[in-house]
Structure 1
Amino acid sequence: MLLMNIEQLKYIVVIARTGSLKQAADELHLTLPALSQSIKSLEGELNITLFHRSRRGSVPTEEGHKLIEKAKYVLLAYQDFIDEAEAYTNTMSGEIRVATYPGPMGILVEVISKLKMDFPDIKTAVYENSTEAIIKKVQDGEVDVGLITYNEKEEHKYRTLIFNKLLDGHMVAAINKNSQLTKYSQITEEMLKGQPIILYDDIYISDFMKRFNLPALDIRLITNNIDTIKNSLENNTAINIGFDYAFKTDVGLSKSSEFVIVDFAPPLNNTYAFGYIYHKNNGLSRIIREFIKRMSNKLRTNPPDKRID
């Protein structure tokens, strides 16, 4: 009789995804010897070699690949079983690991805090990262869900990820209310000439800035500190170019009355999406689905932005 367990199925799926026993052990919070011994025990019980091991990593054998695909379905079915059982008792447990760019952090913390009040048994971990780092964390299994900005290019590029949109958005200029630029309903490229600019450090904002044809924009600072951006806007020392929903979802930015946001004129008014991503090999547990539902509801009811009409 086979004595394998659910944890061992999870182990082989993670090893196959990471291609490394060491990386898998780190992700699973196990020692490398413990993980290695568990896999050897499973291979002995099955009388099958699941992985080719070398200095370059661990790659599934032909038989291993087929069994690992089956293991993924078993794990999804097991999670469905747990979710169904919890639904009958109106309780939820498990872990929520989320990575986000700074904009939605305030809303995210509020949603998770209320979720913890309703379901005290859940565990949560929140990480603040750039879009690139968030995508990598989701790909590597370090987090369950990432909150990012993206466009169709990313959806085609990262085939192992599932993209779900929460909001449509586009690039805007945030300008101090006393600036002469606020009299315009749209910002053109020429208007940025000689204007001091502060940017949030994000690859998609960087890509957007490459679309400008001006010889040299006066970019004073690139930072990942939202307070620095807020202070620059409120003190009228720079304008900020970024995603419009950052000014809706960030607590500090959304409550400030010292600046307004102005849309860009075509062709610079391109649209992005704000949403969540997860690895296609990993299902979303009931508690994570509940978190996403509450996050989506909160975003829909968030106060309107400070847009010039």
Structure 2
Amino acid sequence: MSLLERVVIEFKKKFPDVKLEIVEKGSQDIIDDVNQDKSDLGLIILFKNRLIERTGLAFERLLPVHMVAGISSASPLALKPAVGPEELRQQTVVLYNDDYVKWYMDDFQSLYGPVDVLFTTNNRDLIFRACMNHGAVTIGLNFSFMNEPAFRKDNIAILDFDLPDHGPVYLGVIQRKEKTHSQVSRRFMEWLKHDLEELGASMQS
């Protein structure tokens, strides 16, 4: 949600009469809402097991993303350049309740064996406290740790995984193919793309 903060505020200043409603849901719920015309557009993660073309929706790639691990900066694991399979299996893991995160962890366990998952939640503060106070590791997409006040570099170390590549994964927007989108909707997309391009550049720097 932090990705949308700036673009929503600035967009509302430019178009004060536009009513915006932002809802955070699982990807399948977002797909269903857009398909049923309950939402104008949706932001989801596209990966190899999610075939958007079967939904009848158009998907536009906005930002390449990848999985990372977050752990307290005081942990010895934080000194490593990357996290390997056995290292992760030795940790207590807390997960954000997200379709792709759950798919990734299920795939990981099918390849490397069981992981001690303490809990799954959509409460970021609870995840942060588990990492800081109890030495837990959380995993998530790299962009999800950016602009989150709790996950500052002096608190949480963000490490890549030393794992085979799962193939390209993208954050993107879905819309109904046959729908004629309003000028305001198109302008919002332009603003969102601009912000994500800036984010992508900062992630690579």
> Normalising TM by the smaller chain, what interval?
0.7 to 0.9
Task: Find the aligned partners of 2:167 and 2:132 in 1 and give their Cα distance.
Answer: 26
**1:125 aligned residue (21, 39, 51):** 21
Cross-structure match for 1:252: 149
Question: Per-residue displacement from partner, 1:233-269 (whole Å, max 9, x unpaired)?
Answer: 3335311111111112x53355453112111113155
8 Å contact 1:150–1:274 — kept in the other structure?
yes
8 Å contact 1:155–1:163 — kept in the other structure?
no
8 Å contact 1:130–1:202 — kept in the other structure?
yes
Task: Find the aligned partners of 1:135 and 1:294 in 2 and give their Cα distance.
Answer: 22
Task: Find the aligned partners of 1:286 and 1:231 in 2 and give their Cα distance.
Answer: 43
Cross-structure match for 2:129: 231
Shift of 1:208: 0.9
Question: Per-residue displacement from partner, 1:164-184 (whole Å, max 9, x unpaired)?
Answer: 111101111111111111222
Cross-structure match for 1:150: 46
Structure 1 position 196 matched with structure 2 position 92: yes
Change beyond 3 A, Cα 1:254–1:267: same
**2:159 aligned residue (238, 262, 267):** 262
Task: Find the aligned partners of 2:166 and 2:142 in 1 and give their Cα distance.
Answer: 11
Q: TM-score, normalised by structure 1?
A: 0.59
Change beyond 3 A, Cα 1:235–1:130: same
Task: Find the aligned partners of 1:294 and 1:236 in 2 and give their Cα distance.
Answer: 40
Cross-structure match for 1:166: 62
Structure 1 position 182 matched with structure 2 position 78: yes
Change beyond 3 A, Cα 1:189–1:259: same
- Residues 292-307 of structure 1 mapped to structure 2, 5 A cutoff: 292-302=189-199, 304=202
Cross-structure match for 2:172: 275
> What are the ranges of 5 or more consecutive residues in structure 2 without an aligned counterpart?
none
- What number of residue pairs does the alignment pair up? 201
Structure 1 position 115 matched with structure 2 position 16: no
Higher Rg: 1
8 Å contact 2:128–2:151 — kept in the other structure?
no
Task: Find the aligned partners of 2:180 and 2:173 in 1 and give their Cα distance.
Answer: 13
- Matched position secondary structure for 2:154: coil
8 Å contact 1:197–1:240 — kept in the other structure?
yes
Whichever residue aligns with residue 79 of structure 2, its letter is: K
- Matched position secondary structure for 1:208: helix
Task: Find the aligned partners of 1:164 and 1:217 in 2 and give their Cα distance.
Answer: 34
8 Å contact 1:170–1:270 — kept in the other structure?
no
Q: Which gives a bigger RCO, structure 1 or 2 (Cα 8 Å, sep 6+)? A: 2
Task: Find the aligned partners of 1:295 and 1:178 in 2 and give their Cα distance.
Answer: 36
8 Å contact 1:168–1:274 — kept in the other structure?
yes
- Matched position secondary structure for 2:66: strand
- Matched position secondary structure for 1:123: coil
Provide the identity percentage. Answer: 29
Q: TM-score, normalised by structure 2?
A: 0.87
